[in-house]
Amino acid sequence: MLPVDIPKGATLEVARVEAGEVRKEFGVSHMMHGIVTRASGEPAEGTVLYFNGETFRVDVGRRDLSAENINRIAKLSMDLDVLITVLDSLPGQIVAAEKLIKDLSVSKDIFKDRSANSKFDPAQAISELGILISKMKPALEEQRGQWRKTIVELASLGVTQIRDQGGGLLAGLPVESMAQNFAAEAQKTKEKEEEV
């Protein structure tokens, strides 16, 4: 890998002290030209961007990156980091809430017999949990849609892979192959709709 100059205008990693605390701005710390791996597994000439030291690595299957491209890749990568956290936890929270509704439904008669001494109303809790779940499920689908859209945009910028080398949830994310899979799924869905 050969170190190359970061284009002028690209947001650089900055660490500064404000009110006694170190604040970091997510940005590119260095970039290199070399060989990256494409979705097909074939090597290709490309660029490796390192953000926040070497903790966040983005492989790009092209070398002609502008400052605007780098800044957009940085923003989309940060968006993915937020989205994957939601997508990693929200499905489990929905399942847990649904299980709690079932458990409360089974035991609500026990509470009803003792309701004079209890401030807990299982019927009300079931209703409130139902409302919460009815908001969580569409939010989850919206986040999944945003995830797909972000992956596709990153792939259109030439990103082949993202690696959070700090052990985060984005460790080894195959952006290019995921975007290809999304396109194939969309094509199959379109063909099925045309058949009907």
**pLDDT tens digits, one per residue of 51-101:** 988 889 999 999 999 999 999 999 999 999 889 999 999 999 999 999 999
In this structure, are residues 63 and 44 in contact, taking their beta carbons and an 8 Å threshold?
no
The CA distance from 86 to 150, in Å, is 14
**Residue 119 covered by a domain:** yes
First to last CA, the chain: 52
Encoded tokens for 159: 């990103």
**Residue 83 covered by a domain:** yes
Domain count within the chain:
1
**Residue 193 covered by a domain:** no
**Residue 111 covered by a domain:** yes
Quote the pTM value.
Answer: 0.83
**Residue 9 covered by a domain:** yes
SS3 122: helix
In this structure, are residues 170 and 147 in contact, taking their beta carbons and an 8 Å threshold?
no
**Residue 191 covered by a domain:** no
Per-residue confidence (pLDDT) for residue 10, from 0 to 100: 94
Per-residue confidence (pLDDT) for residue 15, from 0 to 100: 75
In this predicted model, what pLDDT tens digit does every residue of 14-29 receive, in sequence order?
Answer: 877 778 787 778 899 9
Whole domain around residue 120: which residue ranges? 2-183
